[in-house]
Every structure is written in structure tokens, then in C-alpha cells.
Structure 1
Amino acid sequence: MHQFWKTAVLCASLMGGVATAHAASTTPAQTPPPNGYQAFFDHLSTEPLRYAAISSRNGKRLLVGLHPSTEGHVAGELMLLDATMRPLLTADIEGTAPNLQSGQTGTCQLTTTLKEDSLHLNGPCSQDQISGGLTRTMHPSQLWSQVNSFISPDMSVSAVWLNRAGWNAAITPSPSP
């Protein structure tokens, strides 16, 4: 199973979607970004539109920060943390969205692309929340994988929900037991 798929399953599980149990426990940490996790987090924290969710089941945290890039488009970053606030994944995210900073609501289509997979979020969004269907597509490198993906595309779909109100809770470490 590819690392990103495991992470996508974790993201779906974290945000309330459907996931398989074995993937949630085996996701390895991604290589740190060139400027380090702290610098990545600091940049993510300065984004004007910040959304987050915490898994009630395992305490994992998903942080998303966005800013308008061009008319009708947004760009930003996402970071997945484990329950102890250790980074598991960092990635860029981009897509289309209404002018969220002005309070408009509408449909967002966001994509995170990594080496072998892409994660797509499509659904309603506003200044206060992003939600919708989460799907995964693979970027197969071998010819047989490409043919197999064409014949039987991955139809993984999960429901997700991120909100602005969850940001502070998601960046605050849980009290020790």
C-alpha cells in the first residue's frame, strides 16, 4: 500500500470519513520539508484561512491553511499531526474556491498532489468550514498499473469536515494522562 494512500485514509478517518484499520496504524512519517517542520508550521499558521479537525478516535490533527492566489483560486499547505503533535505529513494544497475572505460561500475543489497519489476534496465551503467528498487518484508509473487504473479506477470516497473553530484546539497539545 502506498504511503500517501495510507495518509489519505488517515486524513479521511481523521475528518470523519470511512477508513481501514490497518492503514491507520502503519503510516510512516514523511521526509521533512526543506525548511523543516517548524518553519512549515509557522508559514501555515500565517495563512488567512485556517481550518482544522481532531480525530476523536485517535487524536490525530489535520491542519489546512489557505490564501487567495488568483481570482477564484486558493493555495496553501496542509499538515497532519499525530496525537503527540509529531508531524506525519506536510504538503501543498491548491484549488478553486469562492472569495472566502469576503464571506462568500460556494463549492471548493482542492487538490493535494504527492509523488504517487492525489487527494481531492470537493464540497461546500465558507469562511468558517470546508467539507465534502474526499477522493484519491493514483499516479501509476508502470504501464500495467496505468492500464489497471484506467480499467478499474479507484473510487475511494469519504466525507470530511474541517472548520476554523477547531484550529486552536488542533494546535494545542493534549494534556498528559
Structure 2
Amino acid sequence: MNTTSLDLLPVSSSDPKANVTLTVNGIKVTRAVSVRMLLSDFLRHELGLKGTHVGCEHGVCGACTVLIDGKSARSCLTFAVQASGAEIRTVESLAERSGALHPLQQAFQDCHGLQCGYCTPGMMMNIMSHFESDETLDLSDDGIREMLSGNLCRCTGYHNIILAVRRAAALMGKA
């Protein structure tokens, strides 16, 4: 994250604004936003990417998880200006433009790894972070539970989510 090149704009109100430039799901975007705007709000309200959910607003539940420069991050705890210059990936980056599901999404569907689905986008982005960065994945039940330790699901007992992660790893050649 690069915060050294912020272009503060003159403002007469008590809510200063800054130009923020990010690459979101492969598309470079620039907006003038409040320096207090959270990345989750930027994604949802400025860009219309509603897949990033906000659950607890305290960074505890993981529903707002996105990838910032390939690493899992809580967008409800990150100011948009902190992410200026970064590459952001949201759950919308997973599916193909044709509508074909990403193998991770397909595995969640096949294994019934979701119920209400509210936590699922953040969970998927957290899993993607592990799939893309971990040299050796521990796909045991305990290993997957550790992988998911930052994401809360209040609807399931995690059993089908664990099956979905293992299936996704196989589909993606990570197993």
C-alpha cells in the first residue's frame, strides 16, 4: 500500500478529500474520496461492487475480506487512501465474464459450503489468498480450520465448507 503519493484536494469543509487511484479487479480507477472513507465503502458505494459484505465493522467476522496486493485484508478496517496504488481483488474477480464459476465457487456450490451466503465472499477471498501464496497447503480438517480462522459463519458447522475447500484445492491443482 502506498500512502506517500496522496493528492490532497483543497476543501472548505471539515471532511478533507484525497484522490485515490487503485486497480480493482484489473481495472484502474481514480476517485476523490473522503480521507475517512473505508475501503469497504469505497468498493460498495463508489464502485458498486456489492460482493464485499460488511458484517461486524470491527474486523472480527471476515465478511469484508478482500485481497490487497495478493494478501487477505479486512476492508472495513482499511481506509481507501491507505490502499492507494494497490491492486485490490474482490469476490467479483473470481467468476468468468461468461458467467462460468471459478473452481472455488463451483466447489462451494457442489459441496453445499454455504447457507445464507453472507460470509462466503470474504471466506472465498481469504481462501484464495492461501491458495495463491502458501507453498504447501495443509488440507487436513485442522489445517483448513486454521486457514478459515479469520472468518466467522453463523449458519454452518463448517463441515461442508471444509469439504468445499478440499474440493477446490483438487479442482485447482493445489491438492
Q: Do both proteins adopt the same fold according to a TM-score greater than 0.5, normalized to the shorter chain?
A: no
Higher relative strand content? 1
Higher relative helix content? 2
Q: Normalised by the size of structure 1, how large is the TM-score? A: 0.28
Point out the structure with max Rg over C-alpha: 2
